[in-house]
Amino acid sequence: MSSLHTTRVRRRRLGVAAAAVGLFATLLTAGPAVATPDPGDRQAKEKISSGQAAEVKSAIQNGEIPGVDEIVHSRNISHLANVPKDLITGTNSDLAFQGKYAFSGNYDGFRIFDISNPKSPKTVAQVLCPGSQNDISVSGDLLFLSTDSSRSDNSCTSTTQPATEKSSWEGMKIFDISDKRNPKYVAAVETACGSHTHTLVPERKDVYVYVSSYSPSASFPDCQPPHDGISIIKVPRKSPEKAAIVNFPVLFPEGGNPGAPTNPGVSATTGCHDITVLPSKDLAAGACMGDGILFDIKNPERPRVIDQVQDNVNFAFWHSATFNQSADKVVFTDELGGGGAATCNAEIGPNRGADGIYDIVGKGDKRKLVFRSYYKIPRYQADTENCVAHNGSLIPVKGRDIMVQSWYQGGVSVWDFTNSSKPKEIAYFERGPISAETMVGGGTWSSYYYNGHIYSNDMVKGFDVLRLDDRVTDPAKRVRMSELNVQTQPDYFDRSGH
């Protein structure tokens, strides 16, 4: 059995009431990235009452929660390394991997680490290129970066500019990373409503990019309602400068979730937040604000929706999706509070802001998403900690469904959903609150398993490396990947992919 004991454990009774190698010197004049206001991935601050702050301090003194910035973890987790932010100082976001390198997105650009020694990651390059949220992926010699803030142009020296101006730019940026120490910006494609996230569907000669974006407005010339689909970009590997949009499939021809007042507390669907593809099964799962969808991507330029589900009781904002390896389950996350609220406390409870576990039943176009259960971290967090279900990946163990996942200031959770009706946590890592007095946004954005280690991108604290030693998960250490973009899920047990 896994041991979850630590010197200090968050108890359920906590009842909170409500160097720069490769830096582009020419980019140093770039302005700060500013996120487009929307329901997802906000870094908003909550007002905390003096009574709530006093209760947080009391809980720390009584050992009910870790102290400010104190690290606690289960016995089967080791914290190997932390690399603080350096010249790229914005909010850390997503991660991608290739060979011995990790690629760290940041609202102000991206950073490349050499992780050949996981205990001591080394910075290889830092690229300043503002444009929140800089969601990041890699494929071969190409790196892809999402821009979801209205900019003056598509350069890395752009400044913020209102989306109401026709000349403003948002979309995808493409870099050549054949020389990891000197990435080169080679192409850009403007997309409707920008690119909040993106997902790669790699082919031999081309890479298809599914661009997720949302929140249109009649006042935005390049982001007009209804925005009921995704942009698909085709990128020729040998000529990335020829990248172009090839389709904008409508995913909600009859309209998605209407949101309030029909469904109070639920986001209206005006696009997708994130998509995960499983190319080996020609499947994709979309987390689309008020809806979860399953679709067929056998023709990557023309995806077809198979099923569409809603949860108007406990889900507020469908944020991301993860398949199990057998492609008979999907885990959807709910970004309750947009990432800026304390939603992992007793007041919110175990179902709201949780993961939703769905079985995929049936065959072909008759496949359906069937809800089985919720999973939420079993440790209540303080009212000064923004906590929400966020990005994670599978831990590849044959015959089992195990996932590692970020929860912002709720930390990193490793959990087993082999029995989709009875998920259970088997390991965790977290820091105490950034502040015991006020709500300060932070915590881990992405936690992914890659070649024997867990890598976590903390928005404030930097890049963490964890080692998981457990008889249940140890077989995953034998699975080696040459490349990993978590939203492009590999077949971990197809040896041709290693």
Asked if 183 and 127 count as a contact pair (C-beta separation under 8 A), the reply is yes
Q: How confident is the model at residue 39 (pLDDT cuts 50, 70, 90)?
A: very low
Tokens representing 52 are 């709530």
Give residue 152's identity as a one-letter amino acid code: S
345-404 pLDDT, tens digit each = 999 999 999 999 999 999 999 999 999 999 999 999 999 999 999 999 999 999 999 999
Q: Please check the confidence at residue 17 and state whether its pLDDT lies above 60.
A: no
Mean pLDDT, range 201-205, rounded to an integer:
95
Of 91 and 18, the one with more pLDDT: 91
Q: Please check the confidence at residue 40 and state whether its pLDDT lies above 90.
A: no
Asked if 122 and 111 count as a contact pair (C-beta separation under 8 A), the reply is no
- Please state whether beta strands 368-375 and 392-394 pair in parallel, antiparallel, or not at all (unpaired): unpaired
Give the chain's mean pLDDT.
90
Q: Please check the confidence at residue 336 and state whether its pLDDT lies above 50.
A: yes
Q: CB atoms < 10 A from the CB of 144, how many?
A: 28
Nearest-angstrom CA–CA distance, 221 and 210: 22
SS3 111: strand
Whether this prediction's pTM lies above 0.75 is answered by yes
Of 291 and 60, the one with more pLDDT: 291
103-143 pLDDT, tens digit each = 999 999 999 999 999 999 999 999 999 999 999 999 999 99
Extended strands (E) in 227-346: 231-236, 244-247, 274-278, 283-288, 291-296, 304-309, 318-323, 329-334
- Alpha helix (H) ranges present in 88-139? none
Asked if 472 and 122 count as a contact pair (C-beta separation under 8 A), the reply is no
Best CA proximity match to 20, nearest among 259, 129, 186, 181: 181
42-78 pLDDT, tens digit each = 444 566 777 777 887 777 777 788 999 999 999 999 9
Q: CB atoms < 10 A from the CB of 84, how many?
A: 10
- Please state whether beta strands 424-431 and 77-83 pair in parallel, antiparallel, or not at all (unpaired): unpaired
Asked if 488 and 135 count as a contact pair (C-beta separation under 8 A), the reply is no
Q: Tell me which residue has tokens 């944020």.
A: 319
Tokens representing 312 are 């108007």
Q: What percentage of residues in the chain have a pLDDT greater than 70?
A: 90
Nearest-angstrom CA–CA distance, 498 and 37: 40
146-192 pLDDT, tens digit each = 999 999 999 999 999 999 999 999 999 999 999 999 999 999 999 99
Q: Please check the confidence at residue 8 and state whether its pLDDT lies above 60.
A: no
